[in-house]
Structure 1
């Protein structure tokens, strides 16, 4: 009969084996605690990926004339643009179901805020917009063209531009009629708002833009009228829109934390000589 020998049988020693297992267990507990501190989160993208809303871009005139005052009867010293920003913040803070963007135009135009549902960030960024930030002239056509480019990245059925200006087109390489026709062809509505007295802005052109794109033209002779216009704009019909904001979120830190706590409790009971 052959004899079977285990020359390293000491490795199966109860004390040493438990010590090795205990080290592994402590390492595992530390790993669980680190995982819990990392605050893992699971997102469910399949259940609420759609909501009601619209893609909405404000095209704001920041030309030199927007620094003029006497627009608000209660605060006559305040510049028109500052009042415009304050009322715009109030309007945007209520747009929980919209993707909102902003284009700025003066002598030229640029995309100031891409489409986003993060209204707090938009309100924060508005504080950095000042009169003359894009030059002192008025490139209305470029302002519309820039707003259209922002809307082309959106997914909502309803796409809207709200154009706010207090002057006449006197700058830029894009004509207002050309920009309005482009918006019409893309199914984009343009609501125009003339700020100040009618003689100060191009009433006929703003009316033409709104009419050609199935929008509406508004006149805001003072701050109170502008506030009423925002209230009317709230009635814009919503449509389906995608947004990460409405993904289901589940925080997972509890699970590794619970397992680590249970294991530590078991080790504590063992050290106190209690049977588990």
Structure 2
């Protein structure tokens, strides 16, 4: 399916100049169109000529905005990385006080809000989410549709997977999601506020699988340091060539997301088109023909 777009849409603001053809003072018209006198001085034709001037100017501006058509079907082949968030939804995530500006706000609510902002800026990545508590499950499969991923976060809540903390199973499920991806770079971001106290999969086993699959695991412990297993999170990150972070509050978590964004940058997709075909020659050619028509018409009147 072909899609239409302008590479430089901001150029279209110049269409406001069309108004000048009808409303601007004569002196201003002469500045914008210094050779307008070459076309006609007859008032009987002024409306028709204004229409032609407007059409020519519009076509030239469209040409400058660089119209293109491109094929969106192959957009899934964008470069980037497969990125899966392993989110802790155990009972302790319902604790408040994580956000000093909103003391009643739960830890998990603040986490989702910041995560949504982070995800929508991953322009060229394939993002998925695994949820873990007493057990784990794949909440969101890998997707390029960041809007949908951010939207689906609203359907998750504390206790949705039980009140315990099965970190090993959360990682194992994230790895299972990553197996569906085709990107060369694969990353897991583990976010938890507790200790491993549940699940049939050990953290050691999950980390060994991650190393075999060449997956980096960034770990984030949130809340007081005594609440989560900092040594375990440090070991997970170190063994997968990643980094461990600690976030006592919302501001620290926000800074962590920014640092991860720098460590694992995402390519910009806004200027990436597939099977692109430039169309600027069509409006440019039509504008040239209309200008030629006006010049020949004026020349005929002068003879």
TM-score where L is the length of structure 2:
0.64
Offset of residue 52 of structure 1: 3.2
Q: In 1, distance between residues paired with 2:127 and 2:72?
A: 24
**Aligned twin of 2:17:** none
Q: In 1, distance between residues paired with 2:254 and 2:223?
A: 13
Q: In 1, distance between residues paired with 2:177 and 2:273?
A: 22
Q: After TM superposition, what 4+ stretches of structure 1 lie above 6 angstroms from structure 2? A: none
CA contact 2:222–2:228 (8 Å) conserved in 1 = yes
Inter-CA distance 78–247: structure 2 relative to 1 (3 Å threshold): same
Offset of residue 43 of structure 1: 4.0
Q: After TM superposition, list the pairs within 5 Å mapping 1:77-156 onto structure 2.
A: 77-156=104-183
Inter-CA distance 246–163: structure 2 relative to 1 (3 Å threshold): farther
**Aligned twin of 1:260:** none
Offset of residue 249 of structure 1: 8.7
In terms of Rg, which structure is larger? 1
Q: In 1, distance between residues paired with 2:73 and 2:96?
A: 48
Gaps of 5+ in 1: 1-40, 251-276
Q: Note if 1:58 corresponds to 2:85.
A: yes
CA contact 2:122–2:266 (8 Å) conserved in 1 = no
Gaps of 5+ in 2: 1-68, 278-303
Q: In 2, distance between residues paired with 1:59 and 1:50?
A: 24
Inter-CA distance 66–50: structure 2 relative to 1 (3 Å threshold): same
- Among 241, 244, 250, the alignment partner of 1:223 is 250
The aligned length equals 206
After superposition, what is the alpha-carbon deviation per residue over 1:141-189, rounded to whole angstroms, capped at 9, x for unaligned? 0000000011111111110000000000010000011101110111000
Q: In 1, distance between residues paired with 2:73 and 2:189?
A: 31
Q: Note if 1:176 corresponds to 2:203.
A: yes
**Aligned twin of 1:76:** 103
After superposition, what is the alpha-carbon deviation per residue over 1:213-233, rounded to whole angstroms, capped at 9, x for unaligned? 111000001000000000011
CA contact 1:157–1:239 (8 Å) conserved in 2 = no
Q: In 2, distance between residues paired with 1:49 and 1:224?
A: 34
After superposition, what is the alpha-carbon deviation per residue over 1:80-102, rounded to whole angstroms, capped at 9, x for unaligned? 00000000001011111100000
Cα RMSD (Å): 2.4
TM-score where L is the length of structure 1:
0.70
Q: In 2, distance between residues paired with 1:59 and 1:164?
A: 6
